[in-house]
Chain A
Amino acid sequence: MTTLPPEVPVNPSPLSPKEPAMTRHLRPGARSAAARVVALSLTLGLSSAAAAQGPPSPDPRVGLRAGKYDAAEAAWNLRRLATAQPTEHFAESTNSDLAFTGNYAIQGSYNGWQIWDISNPSHPTLKTAYFCPASQSDVSVYRNLLFVSGEGLTGRLDCGGQGVQDTVSHDRLRGLRIFDISDIAHPRNVGNVQTCRGSHTHTVLVDPKDADNVYVYISGSAGVRSPNELPGCVRAAPTQDPNSSLFRIEVIRVPLAHPEQAAIVSSPRIFNDLTAPPQHGEAPEDVANAARLAAAARERGAYTAMLFGMERVVPNQIINPLLDSIVKARGGTGAATAADSAALRTALPDIIQRQFGGGPAGPGPRPGPTQCHDITVYPAIGLAGGACGGYGLLLDIRDPAHPVRLAAVADSNFSYWHSATFNNDGTKLLFSDEWGGGGQAKCRATDRREWGADAIFTRNGSNLAFQSYYKLPAPQTAAENCVAHNGSLIPIPGRDVMVQSWYQGGISVFDWTDAQHPHEIAFHDRGPVDSTHIAGGGSWSAYWYNGVIVSSEISRGLDIFELTPSAFISQNELDAAKTVHYDYLNTQGQPKMVWPASFALARAYADQLERSHGLTAARLTTVRGALSRAEAASGAARRTALNALATQVTGYAAGSSDAAKVRMLAGAVHDLAAAR
């Protein structure tokens, strides 16, 4: 039976009074700040203005003592439950991405992968350690299959650790390894799909219409292999060879009954004719206007040329010297003849393309960036976000083997588009910029806030509109590699909340419900691994999985955290988040979060209405009281009470400044009444 809540519920204590399970190693200066954070959390309740409980100041992440396993730590609204240090053959390697299945977290490493049993998140235990070196060992899982990326030159088909010295070798594995993990303690390598540029990352796409296969999108940024190593690989640009291995992604189809038959089924050129500008967004009117101007100029006899997908008028400063040269070349003098002009018109596209487009003009469309770094598919809405070179792409993936580009955005503050995350209803898309490749310190006080950050876009159909940047707010030292990296949504209902890794900047939980004003609501950070220089370390990925946040620490192992209630996330919101259950999770195969009917869900919305002042205190008291009484009742009495409450709350919407949330509350209560 459920415990009877108080007649007029008050907000539950935001923090359990017991000390955090972790040991804090703080230098004296940092201790007071951290103590203040805890004190603040303990004394202030949800009803206090959030501003009063804003991020701790001074920021306790500044000045943390260095150390590999004994670095000082700072945390706010997060509690570290456990850290599992890397096991024998993984200690000096680089931990990479995470995938989850059942009670297991699968952690990639440049030396292979480890499977951790996280049934008890306070005591993760090693289930399997599989030595099989490859960078970056990006991992995904689907049913009994585990997929592992190999990109570097050292990966071997036989999983040996000796590397591959030859520039051409049939021992080398660059592409996708496939394992059967039916017996999770004894994985079997059941297939390998070699690709021309290897696999830096990959994305498993589960097509809702195809029960027999899964698809894997391969993103590879490294160089093209020799055709002597892998037949069919072509290093030349598409303008020189239409079969170029550049400027495309690879789509692998994996028959679930016969994973050994996995093979590339298409190599879509999703970048062709990309016309995005070097700035945020682009008005289609601008492109149309440029075309109109060019057409008018052509009418007047001016020279035009296609460049970056747009027809442009070539100015006289370029045309006149070219014409003079042509006249001179035929030994003539004076003005150019009609024949000279015609010759120039013929040659002009090639000249312009070579001089300004970076390569010779050739048949076919302009290719765009050479690769994606990562693609996040969201099958429930048929869309994917691609982080591809200098662009963020929106793709239609309803035909899995033939993704179609719907939109592209560029940003002059972005160095290298790294990953993408949709919000749950798909109306927003967040891209991150891995400026410096993750090996450099880009969160110093001197680094600009919009560099190496996230860029948040709103989506309306196929249009993406830039809204804001989000970057880790705490300055890090020059000894800490730090830039935006992998993260996932946290299923707080009715809000867009995300946890994200920032390498040695630690992990940051932020709210981007208001796309123009993302703000941090929790964090964890350690001091640098080494105070004298950048030693590899920090969080590679931090993902929410069934109630906890699991972080892959590059050098220190596997961290597991729980969110603690605060002014920014109430206990009810956390309880509601924990009702969302995944059987498995590949973050780049974004699942649609669905909240089953629960009292926690209704109370979470009530808490949000308190925070937004969308309902008066009196009405909140009424709602909470009614929910408590309904929870104490059962059967028809509960149903009747909840239906009455749903009707009552629906009536509140009209007068509320947050009517949409009031209707969500009414809906949650109504669903609760219908639930068994």
Chain B
Amino acid sequence: MKPSQLRPIVAALLAVAAGTVSGRAAAQTTPSSAPPPPATQGEAAAIAQAQADSARRPWTAADAQFMSHMIGHHAQAIVMARMAPTHGASPSILTLAARIINAQQDEIATMQRWLRDRRQPVPDAVPGMKMVMNGVEHVMLMPGMLTDEQMAELDRARGKEFDRLFLTYMIRHHQGATSMVSDLFGTYGAGQDETVFKFASDVNVDQTTEIERMQRMLADLVFGGVSP
């Protein structure tokens, strides 16, 4: 069998085992062909108007949707992490889970506050996003979130198997969060609000860093550590 024939099998295996998240392509406008204007001095009268404009750069619906959706996204990570102490997780997973709970609880409070200050609906910190379609309530899952079946699977696991599933799913969960940030910044007018830009950037770098850490933990779990 040639490697090329193997590819579909590999892909099928990966779909089950790894579940990589593919971020949607960022929206882009048509490139402008105009040359960049010369830099001008930010001085005196010319900027007086700009200062007035800048008092508060407006947030957009995309900003509010990001803050709103990420609450439900974070909430599921917290549910997952709270399983660790009762599911025989190893000490390193217990520490990781405690950090995730601490970090994401605080971030939920930040997002709720941001929405409340702008008189937007403030979702409760429960997994997913409730939506009513045709009179039936659905729970919408954001990128990387676990289905009910996957949550049940994680809940059934114990010990080393819990550790493995927790890492596998949390890596995917975090990748979903970073793809939500990419989508936000690829949207017209989004991320102009200082808090949103900083918050989303922080989520991005913190979770990207944590993904790499979890990948290493998962590798050590599956392949054994470096010690003989």
Contact = CB atoms under 8 A, between A and B. Distances in A.
Given A228-B28, A312-B223, A356-B219, A533 B113 contact: yes
A356 B215 contact: yes
B189 to A, nearest CB: 4
B95 interface: yes
A356 B218 contact: yes
A599 interface: no
A166 interface: yes
A672 interface: no
Given A159-B41, A277-B226, A437-B205, A343 B213 contact: no
A278 B213 contact: yes
B52 to A, nearest CB: 8
Contacts of A277: 216, 226
Interface stretch (B65-73, B102-110, B122-130): B102-110
A235 B25 CA distance: 11
B47 interface: yes
A358 B41 CA distance: 45
Interface string A431-444: 00001111111100
- The interface centre, meaning the residue of A163, A290, A355 with most chain B CB atoms within 10 A of its CB, is A355
Interface string B20-54: 10000011111110111101111100010011011
B104 to A, nearest CB: 10
Given A167-B29, A168-B31, A339 B1 contact: yes
Interface residues of A, number: 97
B186 interface: yes
A158 B51 contact: no
Contact of A357 (B51, B215, B220): B215
B42 A170 contact: no
Contact of B57 (A162, A339, A373): A162
B79 interface: no
Given A166-B29, A289-B228, A354-B14, A313 B223 contact: yes
A329 B3 CA distance: 12
Interface in A5-28: none
Interface in A340-381: 340, 343-344, 346-347, 350-351, 354-359, 369-371, 373
Contacts of B106: 436, 440-442
A346 B3 contact: yes
B226 to A, nearest CB: 4
Given A130-B42, A167-B27, A390-B209, A356 B202 contact: no
Interface stretch (A218-226, A589-597, A661-669): A218-226
B9 interface: yes
Contacts of A329: 1, 5-6, 8-9
Interface string B173-210: 00000000110011111111010011101101110111
Given A158-B40, A161-B54, A289 B226 contact: yes
Interface residue tally of chain B, by bracket?
Answer: 35 or more
Contacts of B151: none
Contacts of A228: 28, 31
Contacts of B47: 131, 159-161
Given A111-B54, A329-B1, A389 B191 contact: no
Contact of B110 (A130, A289, A534): A534
Given A157-B36, A412-B92, A315 B201 contact: no
B217 interface: yes
A344 B1 CA distance: 10
Interface string A225-245: 010110000010000000000
19 contacts: A158-B37, A158-B39, A163-B57, A165-B189, A166-B188, A222-B185, A228-B28, A228-B31, A286-B227, A326-B1, A326-B9, A351-B10, A351-B13, A354-B20, A355-B17, A356-B222, A412-B213, A415-B103, A439-B198
Interface of B: 1-3, 5-10, 12-14, 17-18, 20, 26-32, 34-37, 39-43, 47, 50-51, 53-55, 57, 92, 95, 99, 102-103, 106-107, 110, 113, 171, 181-182, 185-192, 194, 197-199, 201-202, 204-206, 208-213, 215-220, 222-224, 226-228
Query: Closest 9 interchain pairs by CB?
Result: A161-B54, A159-B42, A437-B202, A228-B31, A161-B50, A132-B42, A160-B50, A312-B223, A165-B189
Given A131-B43, A325-B9, 9 more contacts: A157-B37, A161-B54, A168-B28, A278-B217, A278-B220, A330-B1, A343-B6, A355-B18, A413-B95
